[in-house]
Amino acid sequence: MSNKYRILIVEDENNIQTFISALLEANGYQAITANTCYQAEMLYGSYLPDLIILDLGLPDKDGSELISKLRENDSVPIIVLSARSKETDKVNALDLGANDYITKPFGSAELLARVRSVLRNSRHNELGRLPNAKFIVGDLLIDYEARQIFVKDEEIKLTQTEYNIIAFLSEHSGKMMTYATIIKAIWGGCADESSIKKLQVNMANIRKKFGAKPGEDYYITNELGVGYRMNEKPD
C-alpha cells in the first residue's frame, strides 16, 4: 500500500480530468478518476480516498446529490469544481457539506493550494478540541479556554459576538463557511438581509481590530455573496 494521499476526481470532461489527474500525480498524490456519480460511488467504496474533487455538472446526476449522500455518514473533504459562476450553486454545495470550491477555469497553482489546505485542515480538525486547546496560525493565537485572541502577542479586544465568530471560523479553518451556517451558529435563526448585514458589520470590525488593510485577506477570506473562510496560513 502506498502512503500517498488518494484523491478521487469526479469530472466528465476528459481534458479537465486528464489535466487534474496528471497535475496531482506529478505532485506526489495518487489520482483516481470517475466520469459519473455512479462510478464515483463505486470507486469511493473500494478506494476510500482522502479527498474528492467533484464537478457539479455530471451526466447521470448533479454532483450535489453525491455530496448529500456522502455527508450522511462521512466527513471526507470535498472540493467542488464548478463552471457555473452563480453564487447559489456554490452556496448550496457548501451548505450540503462541501469544504471548498474552485470556479473553472482555474490554474494549477490554485488547485494545488486548495488541495494542500483542505488536506492539512482535515487532519488538523480531526485532532478536535482538546482541553486547553489553542489555535495558532502565523502570528494569530486563539486561547479557547480563556476566550482570548492574540496577534503578535498582543491581545485583540473583541466583543463576545466577534469572539464567537472567530472561534467558530477557526474550528472550521480551511472550510468556506456560508453566511447561513455562520448566522445559524452564532445567533440561531436563518440568514435574511438584516442578519447578513449584522454579520458583515461584525466582520468589518474584526478586520479593523486585526489591523487588516482594505482588500487584504488577513487570516479570513471573504467571498462576496458566499461566506468566510479562516485560512490555515495567511494567503
Which residues make up the interface to Ca ion (CB under 5 A)? 12, 55, 57
d(CA 173, CA 68): 21
Closest CB to Ca ion among 12 and 95? 12
Closest CB to Ca ion among 9 and 169? 9
Q: Which three cell numbers stand for residue 4?
A: 500517498
Closest CB to Ca ion among 57 and 234? 57
Q: 171 vs 44, 133, 143, 167, 198, CA distance in Å?
A: 27, 11, 12, 6, 21
d(CA 225, CA 178): 9
Cβ 16 to Ca ion shortest distance, Å: 8
How is residue 62 annotated by DSSP? B
Which residue is nearest to Ca ion, using beta carbons?
57
Residues in CB range of 128: below 8 A, 6 or more apart: none
d(CA 55, CA 17): 10
Cβ 82 to Ca ion shortest distance, Å: 9
Closest CB to Ca ion among 55 and 162? 55
Closest CB to Ca ion among 26 and 83? 83
Cβ 36 to Ca ion shortest distance, Å: 10
Q: 69 vs 64, 65, 77, 135, CA distance in Å?
A: 9, 6, 13, 31
Closest CB to Ca ion among 98 and 183? 98
Cβ 11 to Ca ion shortest distance, Å: 6
Cβ 80 to Ca ion shortest distance, Å: 12
Q: Which three cell numbers stand for residue 161?
A: 459576538
Beta bridge partners of 228: 177, 222
Cβ 12 to Ca ion shortest distance, Å: 5
234-102-68-165 Cα dihedral, nearest 10 degrees: 30
